[in-house]
Amino acid sequence: MDARDGMRAADGDRQVVADRLRTAVDEGRLTLHEYDERLQRAYAARTYADLDGLVADLPTPSPPGGRAGEVVPAGADASALAVPAGAVPGRVVDGTGGAVTARWLRDVWEPYLKAVGIVLAVWAVTSVLAGEPLWFWPAWVAGPWGAVLLARSVAGITSGKPRRWAVEEERRRRRRRAKRARKRDRKAAKRAAGEA
């Protein structure tokens, strides 16, 4: 057993494997069921050995400028190729380079920020129309809701909620893609039946 196999994997390592799995399903190397199963195991993996086992039967990523699916020769440093550009070590990143935790926090806080912005705008307009600053009633909207979201954010981060959220988001994305593909297939079948 290699010493690296027993080392603990970071969130960034898990995301690199998730990206490789996504590429493999896009290339047709994995079925959606296999992908879903391996993706769950990737986000639950604790060591490098756990992660390596998930991609052992897949080709190593090709070097920049290489062809997709091209196998890197033995002895080549494939670890440098697997890290997305702009990634920060130890952080979970998605395909666009953003942190999964940051995306989850944005998803949690975005409705709050929009609502508070609207409430503040209403307060500001009414204050201007009144000719003087009115009592700051938006605090009753922003304060309690913000406190609840702050507690939810802290609890979610400590319990690993962003990772589970990322897996669920990926499932939804796959379902939408599959639904669009089925629609395209039905339209193509109708056109083919109409031409026959």
pLDDT the model gives residue 69: 43
How many CB atoms are closer than 10 A to CB 45?
19
pLDDT the model gives residue 72: 40
With residues binned 3-state (H G I as helix, E B as strand, rest as coil), the percentages for the chain, rounded to 5, are 65, 0, 30
pLDDT the model gives residue 89: 37
Question: Domain boundaries in the chain?
Answer: 1-87, 99-196
pLDDT the model gives residue 109: 93
The one-letter amino acid at 136: F
Give the Cα separation of 3 and 9 in Å (integer).
Answer: 13
Q: Mark the ranges of the chain whose per-residue pLDDT is less than 70.
A: 1, 61-99, 196
pLDDT the model gives residue 62: 56
* Beta partners for residue 93, in sequence order: 99
Q: What pTM was estimated for this model as a whole?
A: 0.44
pLDDT the model gives residue 76: 39
Structure token pair of residue 52 = 């390596």
pLDDT the model gives residue 34: 85
